[in-house]
Amino acid sequence: MADNILTASTFQNMAFECSAPNPGVFPEPDRPEIAFAGRSNSGKSSALNAICGRKNLARTSKTPGRTQMINFFATPGLRLADLPGYGYAKVSASKKDSWRNLIETYLAQRKALSAVVLIMDSRRPLGDFDRTLLAWGQEYGLSFFGLLTKADKLGNQAQIETRRRVAGVVGSGAVLLFSATRRQGVDTAREVLAGFAAEAGDGFDEANPT
């Protein structure tokens, strides 16, 4: 096990790297990578910003379908990939195909991918697209971590019930209630991400921070 300990400041030092519209321009897979995937408008970019302790690192929007490319963010020892949201009804069929192609190629081929954070709005988790992504990822042997966003919109009891229901599908212990606005779950999310990175860290020794 590598002594690749990622601290809060590791996340705070995350910097935008590039926007990739196709796999030809993905960055060199030289360090552990964690992808943020989920429905359009589920709160992926907001979660990424909250975890990194930064307001505008990833662009957020009230308009669904804002993130159309894979946006990469990097710091020594870790890279994060903000994937374009799926399930946005108003997107044309050809755009949907290109989305599918980009995401599926990424999940199937990205050598550095340590885990996928599956971001779901806690008010409507486990939609068709979420289940499709889980099925794909399981085929490729990927580890998933469920982040139930906008938990501030649910009462305590509903939060507990939702978490239990989702854990039954994603795997217990791998689901976290989260709120970017209240910063609920931020520290735990960092610990979980750091754990995935540390597990994968052995193969990436040069990229580890000193």
- How wide is the angle at C-alpha 42 spanned by C-alphas 111 and 12, nearest 5°? 60
Q: Per rule CB under 6 A, is residue 152 in the interface with ligand GTP? A: yes
Q: Regarding beta strands 113-121 and 144-149, do their DSSP bridges make them parallel or antiparallel, or are they unpaired?
A: parallel
Binding to ligand GTP (CB under 6 A): which residues in 84-103?
85
Count, residues near ligand GTP per rule CB under 6 A: 23
Q: Per rule CB under 6 A, is residue 19 in the interface with ligand GTP? A: no
Tokens describing residue 10? 């590791």
Q: Under a CB-based contact definition with an 8 Å cutoff, are residues 47 and 116 in contact?
A: no
Q: Per rule CB under 6 A, is residue 123 in the interface with ligand GTP? A: no
Question: How far apart, in whole angstroms, are the C-alpha atoms of residue 46 and residue 52?
Answer: 10
Q: Per rule CB under 6 A, is residue 46 in the interface with ligand GTP? A: yes
Question: How far apart, in whole angstroms, are the C-alpha atoms of residue 209 and residue 6?
Answer: 9
Q: Per rule CB under 6 A, is residue 40 in the interface with ligand GTP? A: yes
Nearer to ligand GTP, 40 or 208 (CB): 40
Helix, coil or strand: residue 67: coil
- Give the one residue of 45, 122, 149, 159 binding Mg ion; rule: CB under 5 A: 45
Tokens describing residue 3? 């002594």
- Give the one residue of 10, 41, 49, 67 binding Mg ion; rule: CB under 5 A: 67
How big is the chain by its Cα radius of gyration, in Å?
16
Nearer to ligand GTP, 77 or 137 (CB): 137
Tokens describing residue 194? 């750091």
Nearer to ligand GTP, 7 or 182 (CB): 182
Q: Interface with ligand GTP by CB under 6 A: which residues?
A: 38, 40-46, 60-62, 64-67, 85, 149-150, 152-153, 179-181
